[in-house]
Structure 1
Amino acid sequence: MSEDPSPPRTPERRQRVQSAEMGMGILKALARLGGTASLTAVATAVDESTAKVHRYLASLIQEDLVVQDSSSQHYRLGPEAIQIGLAAMRQNDPVRRSEPALIRLRDELGVACFLAIMGNLGPTIMRFEEPLLPVTINVRAGSVLPALWSATGQVFLSTLDDAAQWRRLQDELAQASSEQRARLGVQTLDQLRDQVRLQGCAIARDSLLPGISAVAAPITDYSGRVVAVLTALGATGGFDPGLKGPIAPLVLREARAISLSLGTLTAG
């Protein structure tokens, strides 16, 4: 049996660890409270007395991790805390964060998986993973997908706030054939947007390519904004895209995990 190389925790060392944990807890509480809060609100959030929290806040102020507003007496995150946050944000590249999830989905489900972001020309595939027996499809890294007919595009569409683009997509849907509308499964863009929001993902059956189905889920950042979309797709005959099937729950799980790694507070 190997020995634990770490030194034993003396009472003094345990106290330092507990103090660090309390300081971090206060900083996290301030972040959850919107970055600024009263002493009472912070103490309630960490379930400690105001006297104890006040002592810790004084230490955090000395380190520029917290500042106190002279007029309201509220506490807010200080410049050093902001620098830490900015450094973390710079590391939060959704493409890089998604790589392990894409490989897991590919290996666990045996389907093609990709990550897309919204580019200048539309939803653009940035990373593509194929199973051992690839499905013959004409999309690859760099491919631009339609906003209306692909599951990936429908996720981005569900948060679209550009009125001009919305009208253009409405016209595109109005000009679609009855067969295309039937494959889409809805009659209006509003219905499509509401369906994706309710499901938490978009499901496409043969709407982009005949014989191909897909499930796509949003990846959100610290602000709750959709910054990327995680998609799994395969041949319709052997690919069950239903919400209770084997694929959708795993795609949703991986998308939420990536979102949490990016600092989102809305995933789950």
Structure 2
Amino acid sequence: MEALARGLAVLETFDEAHPELSLTDVARRTGMNPATARRSLHTLAALGYVRQVNKRYVLAARVLALGASYLRAAHVDEALMPELRRLVGQFGDASSVSVLEGPNILYVAHCSEQRASRPSAGIGVTYPGYATSMGRVLLSRMPPEAIEMYLSQLRPAKLTEHTETDIGKLRQILAEVRQQGYALVVDQLDYGVTSLAVPIKDQAGRVVAAINSSGYSGKLNADRMLEERLAELQLSAARITHVFTRYPALLHSIRPTG
């Protein structure tokens, strides 16, 4: 099991900023010693998940099969995409569903008509929860002690000049989001990104995910976005709750474990 955990850690260490890694890079980023990292890379290469090119390692296309298996097994396309397509068809821009993965949000579904330059959103992408509308929605619904632990460990980065990094203000924001039932952010994650999000609940009323509608800040008025899109987002969230009865595997796969 330790070998499996190390192998998964190696795969996850590759990202947009690190598409190619040396053995030393992998060891440093995973916290493994070089010998252990070498064994993990050798096994992953033998299984076809990584390749070595000029003494550097890259992910192989077979890695896509892991994510594709989840999308098929959880019926993500049938369960989530109809509502995302409906929102994008109605408002344009983009819409996504995400879950909380540690301090970050993890995209499990995404639909977009956007052409403007912005962070690359898509299935499997993660962003810091404190700077996103979906992250604030999900963080706000954690138990109070869990929120305090999160904030005590948080070292927020100033992603834009508008990014809120004051812990006290973030605590207040999460309290307000929990009370009002939605989160609206403007240029918190990156310049030009305005996003509105609401929670998705299971049949017992527990928050398991979040859904958003986002667009380009230069063309969106935050108050108008709230007026026009909040009710439709809440409708989509309610419909997805009902969809869970047909796709229990999806619900089990995204429901918080602790």
Cα root mean square deviation, aligned? 3.4
Tell me which amino acid in the other structure corresponds to 2:135: G
Aligned to 1:144: 126
1:187-230 deviation line (CA, Å, top 9, x unaligned): 43432122112321111111111121101111000221211111
Note if 1:156 corresponds to 2:143: no
Mapped to 2, the partners of 1:231 and 1:255 lie a distance apart of 9
Q: Gapped runs of 5+ residues in structure 1?
A: 1-90, 264-268
Evaluate the alpha carbon distance shift between residue 116 and residue 178 of structure 1 in structure 2; reply closer, same or farther with a 3 A threshold. closer
TM normalised by structure 1 equals 0.54
Aligned pairs, number: 172
- Residues 240 and 246 in structure 1, CA contact (< 8 A), matched pair in contact too: no
Q: 1:222 aligns with which of 188, 195, 203?
A: 203
1:221-262 deviation line (CA, Å, top 9, x unaligned): 022121111111111121234374222222122112222443
- Residues 126 and 142 in structure 1, CA contact (< 8 A), matched pair in contact too: yes
Note if 1:207 corresponds to 2:180: no
Note if 1:127 corresponds to 2:99: no
Mapped to 1, the partners of 2:152 and 2:161 lie a distance apart of 17
Tell me which amino acid in the other structure corresponds to 1:207: Q
Evaluate the alpha carbon distance shift between residue 153 and residue 95 of structure 1 in structure 2; reply closer, same or farther with a 3 A threshold. farther
Aligned to 1:246: 228
Note if 1:262 corresponds to 2:244: yes
Offset, 1:119: 3.1
TM normalised by structure 2 equals 0.56
Q: 1:232 aligns with which of 199, 213, 235?
A: 213
Evaluate the alpha carbon distance shift between residue 116 and residue 244 of structure 1 in structure 2; reply closer, same or farther with a 3 A threshold. closer
Note if 1:114 corresponds to 2:114: no
Q: Gapped runs of 5+ residues in structure 2?
A: 1-72, 246-258
- Residues 182 and 197 in structure 2, CA contact (< 8 A), matched pair in contact too: yes
Q: Percent identity?
A: 22
Query: Could you say what secondary structure the match of 1:142 adopts?
Result: coil
- Residues 160 and 190 in structure 2, CA contact (< 8 A), matched pair in contact too: no
Tell me which amino acid in the other structure corresponds to 1:216: A
Query: Could you say what secondary structure the match of 2:237 adopts?
Result: helix
What pairs with 1:188-207 in structure 2 (closer than 5 Å)?
188-207=169-188
